[in-house]
Amino acid sequence: MNLRVTEIFYSLQGEARTMGRPTLFIRLTGCPLRCLYCDTAYAYKGGKQIALTTILKQVADYNPQYICVTGGEPLAQPNCLLLLKLLCDEGYEVSLETSGALDISKVDSRVSRIVDLKTPDSGEVKRNYYDNMHLLTANDQVKFVICSRKDYEWAKVQLIEYDLAKKVSEILFSPSYQQIKAQDLANWIVEDNLPVRFQLQLHKILWNDQPGH
C-alpha cells in the first residue's frame, strides 16, 4: 500500500497545542480545497508514491518525539487512515491536520485531530462538513484562520452553536498571514474574553515559511 507524499521533514511544530515542540512532519500530496490564503499550494500536485512500510522506516530513522500528518488534505488519500493507525501502533504521539471538509469518523481515536473549520473569507466555507463537530473529543483541536472581522464574528457563532469549549482541548484562533493585523485579533479575543488560544505561526516567524520547515 502506498501514499503520495510531498515531503517528510523534522522541524518545530509551528501551531496548535504542541507549538514549539520538535516534530516530524509527513506532508501528503493533494487537496480538494483551494483556500484563498493557502500556504502549501506546492502540495496540491506532484509528490512521490511511497510504500507505507518505507514511510514507517523513514519515520523510525528520525526517532521523533511527535508526529504530525498534514497536507494538502491528508484524508483525501484513503490510505492515510491506515498510516495513522500504524504510527499509533508503533507508540508515537500523532496529530492530524485536516481541513474539516472530509469525514473524520474513521480516524484512529489515539490521534489528535486538528480540524480547520473554514471561515467565510477563506473562500471555502461551503465545504465544511459540520457533522465532524459532533465527533470531536477532548483529544481534538479546532482551528479558525481569521481573515477579517467578519470571519471573527462568524467563528464566535460556531463556538456557541457547537459548544466547542466543552468538547475539545484547544480552540485556536490564528490571524491569516498578511491579511489581518495580529494585534487586532488579539485585542478582539481579550475584549470578548473568548475561551480560545490566540496563535501565530511560529514557522513563518522563524523561517519565513520556507518548505521543509
Q: Where are the domains of the chain?
A: 2-207
Using the predicted structure, report yes or no on whether residue 213 has a pLDDT greater than 80.
no
Q: What is the pLDDT of residue 173?
A: 97
CATH class of 2-207: alpha beta
Closest of 184, 187, 185, 191 to residue 172, by C-alpha: 185
Region for 125 from its dihedrals, namely left if φ exceeds 0, alpha if ψ lies in -120 to 50, beta otherwise: alpha
What is the pTM for the complete model shown?
Answer: 0.93
How far apart are alpha carbons 54 and 206 in whole angstroms? 30
Query: Would you say 70 and 38 are in contact if contact means Cβ atoms under 8 Å apart?
Result: no
- For residue 87, pLDDT beyond 80: yes
pLDDT at 114 over 80: yes
Identify the pLDDT of residue 67.
98
3-state secondary structure of 186: helix
Q: Looking at the predicted structure, is the pLDDT value of residue 211 above 60?
A: no
Assigned C-alpha cell, 100:
474539516
Q: Phi first, then psi: what are they for 65, rounded to 5°?
A: -80, -30
4: enclosing H helix or E strand: strand 2-12
Task: Tell me the backbone φ, ψ of residue 41, rounded to 5 degrees.
Answer: -60, -25
Q: How far is the C-alpha of 63 from the C-alpha of 12, rounded, in Å?
A: 14
Tell me the pLDDT tens digit for each residue of 162-177: 999 999 999 999 999 8
The whole-number average pLDDT for the span 83-102 is 97
> How much of the chain exceeds pLDDT 70, in percent?
98
pLDDT tens, residue by residue, 115-173: 999 999 999 999 999 999 999 999 999 999 999 999 999 999 999 999 999 999 999 99
pLDDT at 60 (0 to 100): 97
Q: Tell whether the model's pLDDT for residue 3 goes beyond 70.
A: yes
Closest by CA to 16, choosing from 141, 157, 147, 194, is: 141
**Worst-scoring range by mean pLDDT, 177-181, 187-191, 206-210?**
206-210
DSSP characters for 6-48? EEEEEEE--SSTTTTSEEEEEEE---S---TT-S-GGGSS--E
Could you give the CA distance from residue 210 to residue 213 in angstroms, rounded to a whole number?
A: 6
- pLDDT tens sequence across 51-85: 999 999 999 999 998 999 999 999 999 999 999 99
Are 43 and 29 in contact by the 8 Å Cβ rule? The answer is: yes
Mean residue pLDDT across the chain: 94
Q: In the predicted model, is pLDDT for residue 99 greater than 70?
A: yes
CA-to-CA separations, 181 to 57, 77, 142, 176, 185, in angstroms, rounded: 42, 35, 21, 9, 7
